[in-house]
Structure 1
Amino acid sequence: MVATNDLDRLQRLLSDATETLMGHFYGVSSQLTALLRTAAQHPEIDTSGLQDAMQHMGGAVTALQFQDMASQLIHHTERRLRSCADRLARDVMGDEDEDGVAVVEEAPLRPNPVTQDEMDAGSIELF
């Protein structure tokens, strides 16, 4: 149960960091878009730096997929740990007590919810 609590804390930290990152990401993205629009009205301005910055933003979007994959893995591991703890408790204390029959949460059927172990650039859909 201690490990499950640690995973829950990790999930909250990861979610908070991702929310902060998304806020900054959208701020930078809107600033770059505004600069590109302004530059489009002034052909004398070199936009190669802005285009490079937009490419880096695309890479950042790909990296944001990490949070979703990590959250799925944390949730999956929490369920597995909970199932193991429930089974151990049932085996040690028996199937019944004054509260009724012991309920054991079943472990996830799939061994791993996320089969991807790396991220590449490409078309993605945000949240």
Structure 2
Amino acid sequence: MPLMAAADLQDHLMVASNDMDRLQRLLGDACESLLTHFYGATGELKQLLHRVAEHPEIEAPELHNAMQHMAGAITAMQFQDMASQLVDHTTRRLRNCADRLARDTMGDDEDGEALVAEAPLRPNPVTQDEMDAGSVELF
């Protein structure tokens, strides 16, 4: 492979890797916000459930609906976890490819042997490709 083509390919791999890092940060921020709202909503629901338990004459079908929304939030948190694992895995694979390409085409530099980021050990960290709501244990 010509040196310029290898350098361009390495640049593209590093740009993709940096984009994956940015995506990871965005997912992390979204999850942090989701968790904040989830725990806030959980606290409010617990208070409502306590009130309804103290006053059985109160009918609160909205509580059932709210609990279903909470199940959806849990599914979203599971999705974020899976997506985060995939992004991290792909980032490490891209960096490994970019480093190997640089080492193999440009060789070591004056500081010594070129460092190559370690490739992921498994081909895929997440085998699930869809999310369904179900019972979940949190933390």
Runs of 4+ off more than 4 Å: none
Q: Per-residue deviation at 1:121?
A: 2.3
Following superposition, the deviation at residue 114 of structure 1 comes to 0.3
Q: Deviation of residue 45 (structure 1)?
A: 0.3
- Equivalent residue number for residue 118 of structure 1: 130
Q: Which residue of 2 aligns with 1:107?
A: 119
Larger relative contact order, structure 1 or 2 (CA cutoff 8 Å, min sep 6): 2
For structure 1, which segment, 62-71 or 116-125, has the greater mean C-alpha deviation from structure 2 after superposition? Answer: 116-125
Which residue in the other structure is 1:76 paired with? Answer: 89
CA distance in 2, matches of 1:91, 1:65: 39
What runs of 5+ residues in structure 1 fail to find an aligned partner? none
- 2:31 matched to 1:37? no
Task: From 8, 11, 14, give the equivalent of 2:24.
Answer: 11
1:88 to 96, 101, 104: 101
Normalised by the size of structure 2, how large is the TM-score?
Answer: 0.83
User: 1:64 Cα shift?
Assistant: 1.1
Q: CA RMSD in A?
A: 1.4
Q: Tell me the CA shift for residue 54 of structure 1.
A: 1.2
Quote how far apart the aligned CAs of 1:59 are. Answer: 2.4
Q: Give 1:49 deviation, angstroms.
A: 2.0
For 1:23-68, what per-residue CA distance to the aligned partner results, in whole angstroms no more than 9, with x for missing partners? 1111111111101100111111002221221122122212210111
- TM-score by length of structure 1 reads 0.91
Query: What is the deviation of 1:124?
Result: 2.4
